[in-house]
């Protein structure tokens, strides 16, 4: 899944020679994924993973085949965008599915191990996002962008198929009563909406940093510096989430989230010194310590605030919020960089980090409702 979006960029750019068309198709993919993901999660909650995943992965395979054939046969841009949207709409919500399985496996007396399980999930995702894009870029640079797209689809379909076969670890389908409107209102609880805000703002931070750090490196006439900073950030994040998952933490997850958000907000402040390489490096590394922990804790708290019958959908909504925040902030950051250079982009990144911190800290206030209903 980490490979899919980038592979589409390479595929469409190679077929059309246009970055604008590649951006249009990738944007259609991202929007469709963000809108359809929660609906897929809702179907999974209602009918079970083992019934929904097989047709979902088959539909995704067909959508990718449609996109590849359209690109190879020089289809117009609008048709490529439609095909890209189909790929996004059918993308299996494997992250949400995996989180829901951990929640079911660690029910009852094993519940204290849930943060460690979510940290492990975050660690594996981070490794995938390190390896996947590099693999796609290598394949595409070798002149085989179609192979990169098909490889990404093959891995996604195989992963979804393997999960569908693992019936022992699949969560039981929630009781029919859990899908009634009063249970679905758990998704509108203030506590869950706050988590949506956390994920949206941290997604905005992601989207902004990708542009702002690149602009910072280019301004210093050292484009390769961006790759070094991103690698250092990814490595720091991996180490941070690994250390977090190795031990239990006594404070309530709400307080842990507030602490991690504070580290993110304060750690982003050195980014304002865009003229100083040491300051920007410090900001990149300090924020990398906090980001994966914030995402883990958002998942932990989501598991406590919604009912079992809407859990997969809840995780999918958090993923969609991150994607939406990233897409919106990337647009804003691009305008800021055009008008004020890297300083403008880094300022937007600091604003997103501080917004995440504000949401996280406000979650400790008593007026936020976090507990799920007794019927959970």
Domain boundaries, the chain: 4-173, 182-362
- Our measurement of the distance from residue 275's CA atom to the centroid of its chain's CA atoms, rounded to an integer in Å, reads 30
pLDDT at 375: 41
Mean pLDDT for the chain overall: 88
Q: Is the pLDDT of residue 368 over 60?
A: no
Tokens linked to 152? 């990404």
CATH superfamily of the domain spanning 182-362: MFS general substrate transporter like domains (1.20.1250.20)
* Confidence at 157, pLDDT banded by 50, 70, 90: very high
| Mean pLDDT for the stretch of residues 214-242 | 87
Which of 26-30, 59-63, 89-93, 283-287 comes out lowest in average pLDDT? 26-30
- What was the pLDDT predicted at 119? 92
Tokens 């206030």: give the residue. 365
Q: How far apart are CA 268 and CA 231, in angstroms?
A: 17
Structure tokens at 352: 């997103």
Q: How far apart are CA 319 and CA 93, in angstroms?
A: 9
pLDDT of residue 99: 92
């Amino acid at each position: 899944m980490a490979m899919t979006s980038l592979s589409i960029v390479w595929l469409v750019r190679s077929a059309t020679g246009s970055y604008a068309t590649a951006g249009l198709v990738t944007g259609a993919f991202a929007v469709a994924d963000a809108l359809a993901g929660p609906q897929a999660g809702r179907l999974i909650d209602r009918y079970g993973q083992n019934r929904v995943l097989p047709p979902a992965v088959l539909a995704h395979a067909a959508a990718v085949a449609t996109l590849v054939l359209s690109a190879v046969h020089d289809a117009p841009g609008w048709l490529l965008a439609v095909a890209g949207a189909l790929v996004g709409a059918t993308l299996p919500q494997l992250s949400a599915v995996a989180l829901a399985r951990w929640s079911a496996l660690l029910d009852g007396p094993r519940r204290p191990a849930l943060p460690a399980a979510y940290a492990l999930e975050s660690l594996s995702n981070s490794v995938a996002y390190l390896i996947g894009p590099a693999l796609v870029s290598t394949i595409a640079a070798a002149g085989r962008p179609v192979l990169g797209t098909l490889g990404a689809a093959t891995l996604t379909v195989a992963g979804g198929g393997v999960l569908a076969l693992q019936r022992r670890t699949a969560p039981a389908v929630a009781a029919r009563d859990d899908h009634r409107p009063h249970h679905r209102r758990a998704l509108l609880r203030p506590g869950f909406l706050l988590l949506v805000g956390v994920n949206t703002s941290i997604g905005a931070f992601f989207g902004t940093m990708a542009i702002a750090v690149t602009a910072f490196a280019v301004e210093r006439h050292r484009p390769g510096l961006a790759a070094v900073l991103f690698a250092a950030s990814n490595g720091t994040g991996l180490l941070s989430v690994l250390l977090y998952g190795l031990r239990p933490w006594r404070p309530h997850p709400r307080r842990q989230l507030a602490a991690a958000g504070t580290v993110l907000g304060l750690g982003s402040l050195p980014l304002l010194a865009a003229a100083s390489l040491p300051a920007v490096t410090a900001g990149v590394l300090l924020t990398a310590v906090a980001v994966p922990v914030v995402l883990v804790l958002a998942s932990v708290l989501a598991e406590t605030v919604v009912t079992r019958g809407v859990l997969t959908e809840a995780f999918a909504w958090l993923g969609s919020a991150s994607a939406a925040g990233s897409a919106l902030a990337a647009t804003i950051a691009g305008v800021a960089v055009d008008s004020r250079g890297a300083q403008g982009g880094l300022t937007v990144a600091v604003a997103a980090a501080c917004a995440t911190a504000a949401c996280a800290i406000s979650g400790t206030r008593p007026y936020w409702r976090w507990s799920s209903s007794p019927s959970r």
